[in-house]
Amino acid sequence: MPSLSLDDVLRKVVEDAVAEYRARIRELEEEYLRRVSGQSEELLRKASTASAAIRREASATYSRIVTQASLDARREYLAVLEDGLNSVISAALEEISKMRGSEEYASSLMGLLREAIDIVGGEDLVVECSPEDAELVKRLALKLGKERGISIRVSDKYVNSLGGVKVSRGDGSAVYNNTIEARLERMRPMLRSEIIKRLSVQTSP
């Protein structure tokens, strides 16, 4: 069975979120059109038979209506987008929690440990993790330490996290938080862009 990485989990939950929020984006677009047409039809009808001054005022009012409706729609769109992003992160955390104890989880945890060690650097490192992952991280750290010929100690100090690791140099000069939660927070801009891209493609005519 192929290894299921954090990126695989995120890809799945992004697709699920896009499917759910695509319909809500459609509703916003339709509501925007209803607002504009509903408020402006009467103004345009009156303007067609009115004087030039009244026509100019009606035109200005129409522009304000369109602008306000556009701003309202944008605010609602951004709110839906942020809601979707939070749902993606929550769903990812839930999916990852179900992986604990599996080979896929151990593989993902090793990937997070390798990444954090590469970023921190050094030959004397300390790893913090959740109490649930302590035994697994000790085995992974021992294996990785032997592979690289470096000292990797697992701290008795735990982090409050669903999973992942926090790695620091022995002298405390460098620290990298690669817990699941910290990683997802760093990925927020990328996830937001991915959701926007997929919604844009799937909601276009």
Q: Is the dihedral of CA 25, 31, 35, 36 positive or negative?
A: positive
The answer to whether the CB of 42 falls within 8 A of the CB of 62 is no
Question: What are the domain boundaries of the chain?
Answer: 6-100+187-203, 103-185
| Angstrom distances, CA of residue 190 to CA of 95, 113, 197 | 19, 22, 10
Query: What percent of the chain shows pLDDT beyond 70?
Result: 59
What pLDDT is attached to residue 35? Answer: 56
- Tens of pLDDT, residue by residue over 134-173, are 999 999 999 999 999 999 999 999 999 988 999 999 998 9
Two tokens, residue 132: 């649930």
Superfamily in which the 103-185 domain is placed by CATH: ATP synthase, E subunit, C-terminal (3.30.2320.30)
- Tens of pLDDT, residue by residue over 105-124, are 888 899 899 999 999 999 99
Q: 0.85 exceeded by the pTM?
A: no
- Tens of pLDDT, residue by residue over 6-17, are 667 666 666 666
Two tokens, residue 24: 């809500």
What pLDDT is attached to residue 3? Answer: 44
Q: By C-alpha distance, which of 26, 14, 16 is closest to 200?
A: 26
DSSP string for residues in 4-47: --HHHHHHHHHHHHHHHHHHHHHHHHHHHHHHHHHHHHHHHHHH
